[in-house]
Chain A
Amino acid sequence: MDQQRTAGAGGVPAGQPPDQESLRALWQEHRRWVAAILLAHKPSWADVDDLLQEVAVAVVRKVGDLRDANSLKPWLRAVAINAANAAARGGKKRAASLDAIGDSVVAGRIADGGAVPDGPETVRIRDEAARLMTLAMQLPDGYREPLLMKAVQGMSYREIGEVLGLPETTVETRIARGRRMLRELAEAPETAKV
C-alpha cells in the first residue's frame, strides 16, 4: 500500500513529491469532470476557468499528501466545491457590477466585428442549450451534479459513482430522477419557474 498510486497510468505515488509529468497527466485525465463539478456548484457570475485555476493550484500543492488512491477523485471534488463556495462567499459584492457590465462588453465586442455571427439554427440550439442549463441549475445539488457529469462526454455511471462516493445504481437512480425533474421544469409554465 505504501506505493499505491492515485490515478492509474497518470498517477502520483502516495506520500512522495509528484513529478511534473505525472501531475500533468493526472490533470489532463481529470480536469474536464472537475470543470463539470465547478459548473454545478459555482455562483452564476463566476467563470469556470478562474475557479479551475484555483483547483490546479491545489493539485500542485497538495496532491502529494494524499494517502489513499481511492481518495483522489473525492478530494478533487472537495477542492472544486470549496473553490466554488469560496467564490460565492468572496464575490457577492463584485457580482452585481460584473453581471451588469458583462453583457454590454461582450455585445460591444461583437458589434465591433470581433466575432463571426452564427447562423440562426446554431443560435437557436445554443439558446435552447442555455435555457436548459439554466433550468438544470434549479435542480437540487444531489441531482444536478450527476446529471451535469453525465453530460461530460465519455463519463460512465461507475466513474461518476467514484467521484460522488455512491454506488453505480444510486447514480443511475439520481440521473433518472434528475432527468424527469428537468423535463417537468421545462414543461412547466414560465411563472412556475424560479
Chain B
Amino acid sequence: MNTDPNNPNANPSLHQGVNDEALPRDDADLLISRAVDGRTSAAEWVLLELAAAQDPGVWRRLAQAHRDQALLVKGVSRAVDVSDHIELPTPLEAERHASEGRSVLGRVRTWGGWAAAAMLVIAFVMQTRQGPSPSTTMPQSKPTEAGLLVSAADAFKTYLDKGKEEGRVLGEVPDQVLVDSRPAENGNGYDVVYVRQVVERARVADLYRFSHDEAGRATPVRLQARPAQGSQPTIY
C-alpha cells in the first residue's frame, strides 16, 4: 500500500473491492441518502414518492437511514471530540518524540476530566529561599501511634490526612491514569502501572506561563495576580 507519509504525492489507495459504478438517478438508496443529507431536489422527491408507491418499505428505510445517521454522528462525535484537546507539539518536542520513538507522547492513557486540566501549562516557581516546592518533595513519613508505618498504603494515607489538616492537600483525584499493563508473570491477573494524583495547594510568590517567542522557543511569561472581588485570587 502506498502510504508514505513523507511523500506529498502519496495518496493511499484503499478503494479495492469497492463498487464505484454510478447508481441510477432513481435508485431508492441514492434518493434516501440524498434525503438524509438534505440534498434532495423537488424532482427527486417525486422520484422518491414514486419508488415508495411501488415499495412502501422505502419510507421505513428512509426513517431508518435518518436514525442511523443521527446515531453515527453521535458515535463519531464521541471519538472525534477528543481532537479538540490535542494541540500541536513545539518543533523541539516533535523532534524529541521522533528521535525517542513512541515513548514521549501518547504513552499515558487518561480517563475523565482530569486530562483537560493536565493540559494547562502553568508552572509555579518557588523562591529559592523558601526551599524546594512542596509538590516536588516527598512527604515526610511520620510514625504512627505504634511508632511504625506498616505499609506504603498506611504512609500514603497518613500523608493525605496530615496534608488535609495542614491545608496543603485538597484531595485525591478519583480517576487513575493507566500507564502500562501486562499479564503477570505467574499468569495470575495483571501487573498494572498507574498514576494516583493528589491535588495540593501552595502559596507561591510568582506564577509563570510558558509561551513561545517568534523563534518558537519556550519563554516563561510572568502572570500578574490580584485579589478578585471575592476572596479567590484571579490570574490576569
Contacts and interface: CB of A to CB of B under 8 A. Distances in A.
A73 B200 CA distance: 44
A7 interface: no
A65 B65 contact: no
Given A75-B5, A182-B68, A101 B181 contact: yes
A21 to B, nearest CB: 10
A150 interface: yes
B178 A105 contact: yes
Nearest to B9: A71
B87 interface: yes
B44 interface: no
B3 A186 contact: no
Contacts of B204: none
Interface stretch (B46-54, B95-103, B135-143, B157-165): B95-103
Interface stretch (B17-25, B126-134, B226-234): B17-25
Contacts of B83: 31-32, 34-35, 48-49, 52
B201 interface: no
B23 A173 contact: yes
Nearest to A167: B20
B136 to A, nearest CB: 26
Interface string A117-135: 0000000011011101100
Interface in B102-126: 102, 105-106, 109, 111-112
Contact of B75 (A77, A130, A183): A130
A97 B79 contact: no
19 contacts: A36-B79, A48-B80, A50-B106, A52-B82, A52-B83, A53-B89, A56-B88, A61-B94, A61-B98, A62-B5, A68-B9, A75-B5, A77-B11, A78-B5, A101-B192, A142-B17, A173-B21, A177-B23, A186-B64
Contacts of A148: 72, 76
B86 A56 contact: yes
Interface of B: 3-12, 14-23, 27, 29-30, 32-34, 36-37, 61, 64-65, 68-69, 71-80, 82-91, 93-95, 97-98, 102, 105-106, 109, 111-112, 174-176, 178, 181-183, 190, 192, 194, 212, 216
Q: By CB atoms of chain A within 10 A, which of B4, B21, B71, B84 has the most?
A: B71
- Secondary structure type dominating chain A contacts: helix
A35 B106 contact: no
Interface in A33-76: 34-36, 39, 47-54, 56-62, 65-68, 71, 74-75
B58 to A, nearest CB: 12
Contacts of B192: 101, 105
Contacts of A142: 14-18
A100 interface: yes
Contacts of A140: 17-18
A79 B106 contact: no
Given A62-B6, A85-B3, A136-B72, A77 B111 contact: no
A150 B105 contact: no
A150 B75 CA distance: 12
A68 B7 CA distance: 11
Contact of B8 (A68, A85, A94): A68
A105 B98 CA distance: 31
Contacts of A153: 73, 77
B75 A60 contact: no
